[in-house]
A and B are shown apart, each in its own frame.
Chain A
């Protein structure tokens, strides 16, 4: 029998990779999409004919119940979120409404309309914030340092509560940073690769960044969505850290990205205080030994390969724009 999956946040980076993965596996895929006057479907344009998009909103409980009734999912992946840490300071309320309360609304909708569905909650390494130990594992206490991190901690616990008290098959993936050419332009990795391509193509002459010494454990989104799927195929629901276990600085990311197009990052990168966060998180480094042991999961794309993949994609995207611009007088 064909399995049915519902993905919230299907128009995002992870949603689009996950939708591809599930379609390849023969799922019927539905996706929750927010009404918007602008087109938010760029990342899923290539699969739109094959997915069933249902309008709804994480802040509207009635809509979630309707969506659940319509999709009748066997598996629900909650990837919808206000996912930018920096903006969570400017929109603390909205972040709480969508990222925290939205999870409860969704779990309640599942209880009403699809009680046997399995549930995946996208938890985040930002929950560790001011880290209590390095590397972080499933048992590391949380100390979130942003409204985003705080909301994600709530989402984690409410998922755990519904699993333990209602016996739902609900699991958390504690995902460390994961990037791709589809990463939003507001995230530092994509901002860098976009900036590198623009500089290389003569569309920009500098790249302004916050703290270059910030370190992160960056993996490839395409690898990470596979892990989400694996978690829901287990007999028992559980929580897993998903990470590469290797840390790099923003500076190293810049170095590799610029070098890939034959440039020296030091000539173009400018540190701008406006991009420094009010409270920076410490050493976010994940230990995904449990995922490797129990699920047999392992990341495939290396750090260098990831950076180069992203730069290549941005070069390809911007080259026609640069070519068109060059033919016109400035």
Chain B
């Protein structure tokens, strides 16, 4: 029998990679897409009849109930979120409405209409905030330092509560940063690779960044969606840190990206106060040994490879004769 999956945030980076993965494994996929980029819509055709677009919104319970009723899912992946940390300072209320209360709406919709479905909740390494032990693991206390992080902690806790109290198969993946050519332009990695491409092609002459010393554990989104699926195949629902365990600075990323096209990053990068967050988090480095042990998961794409892949994709995008397709 065909497995049916419902994905929220299906038009995002993770949603797209996850859809590719699941369709490849013979799933029927129901994608809830918000205001999706045109490029995403144009690509839907490649998934054929196995893919159905649903319209629903995490702020609208009724729409979620309908989405669950229509898709009758075996697996639900909640990837929808207001996902910008900086944006969460500008609009904390909407971020909470979607990322925190929205998860309760979705869990309620699943509990009411498809209680047997296995649910994946996208949690975030941002939940650990400042001063956490290094590396961070599943037992590390949460100390969220932004409205975004606070909403993700809320979602993580409520997901666990539904698992423990209703016996639902709900798992959270505590995802450390994961990047790809599909990463949004507002994220630092993509901002770097896209600007590198534009500088290389003579379309830009500098790159403004915030704190160059900020350290992150960056993996490849394509690897991370595998972990999501593995979590839902497990007999017991649980929470897992998904990370590479390797830490690099923003400066490292710049260096790798610029040198990939034969440029010296120091000539183009300048730091800009406006790009600094009100409070930046310290070292985020995940210990994913639990996922490696219990799920047999492992990241495949290494840091240098990831940066190069993203620069190559942006070179291609920016050098298209008719200009880049922007959302």
Contact = CB atoms under 8 A, between A and B. Distances in A.
30 contacts: A92-B107, A92-B108, A92-B158, A93-B105, A96-B101, A96-B104, A97-B101, A100-B100, A101-B100, A104-B92, A104-B96, A108-B92, A132-B141, A144-B157, A146-B165, A149-B157, A150-B158, A150-B161, A151-B154, A153-B154, A154-B96, A154-B100, A157-B144, A157-B150, A157-B153, A158-B92, A161-B147, A166-B278, A278-B165, A278-B166
Interface in A152-175: 153-154, 157-158, 161, 164-166
Interface in B274-293: 278-279
Given A100-B101, A101-B93, A146-B165, 13 more contacts: A93-B101, A93-B108, A101-B96, A144-B161, A145-B161, A153-B154, A154-B100, A157-B153, A161-B146, A161-B147, A161-B150, A165-B279, A279-B161
A100 B61 contact: no
A15 interface: no
A63 B104 CA distance: 24
B161 A147 contact: yes
B47 interface: no
B26 to A, nearest CB: 34
Contacts of A96: 100-101, 104, 154, 158
Nearest to A107: B92
B96 A100 contact: yes
Given A154-B151, A161-B150, A166-B278, A147 B101 contact: no
A146 B161 contact: yes
Interface in B235-262: none
Contacts of B298: none
Nearest to A159: B150
Contacts of B151: 154
Interface in B156-182: 157-158, 161, 164-166
A275 interface: no
Interface of A: 61, 89, 92-93, 96-97, 100-101, 104-105, 107-108, 132, 141-142, 144-147, 149-151, 153-154, 157-158, 161, 164-166, 278-279
Interface in B290-305: none
Contacts of A149: 157, 161
A164 B143 CA distance: 12
Contacts of B101: 93, 96-97, 100-101
A61 B93 contact: yes
A157 B92 CA distance: 12
B89 interface: yes
Question: What is the interface of chain B mostly: helix, strand, loop, or mixed?
Answer: helix
B142 A141 contact: yes
A270 to B, nearest CB: 24
Contacts of B96: 100-101, 104, 154, 158
Contact of A92 (B97, B104, B142, B147): B104
A150 B157 contact: yes
B108 A279 contact: no
A309 B151 CA distance: 41
A105 B166 CA distance: 30
List of 6 A-B pairs having minimum Cβ-Cβ separation, nearest first: A141-B141, A278-B165, A165-B278, A150-B157, A157-B150, A154-B154
B145 interface: yes
A154 B153 contact: yes
Interface in B112-150: 141-147, 149-150
Given A97-B101, A153-B153, A165-B279, A145 B108 contact: no
Of A92, A132, A141, A278, chain B has the most CB atoms within 10 Å of the CB of: A92
A100 to B, nearest CB: 6
Contacts of A154: 96, 100, 150-151, 153-154
B219 to A, nearest CB: 26
B247 to A, nearest CB: 23
Contacts of A93: 61, 101, 104-105, 108
A330 to B, nearest CB: 42
A134 B254 CA distance: 47
A278 to B, nearest CB: 4
A153 B154 CA distance: 7
Contacts of B143: 157
Nearest to A96: B101
A154 to B, nearest CB: 4
A111 B290 CA distance: 42
A166 B146 CA distance: 11
Of A89, A141, A158, chain B has the most CB atoms within 10 Å of the CB of: A158
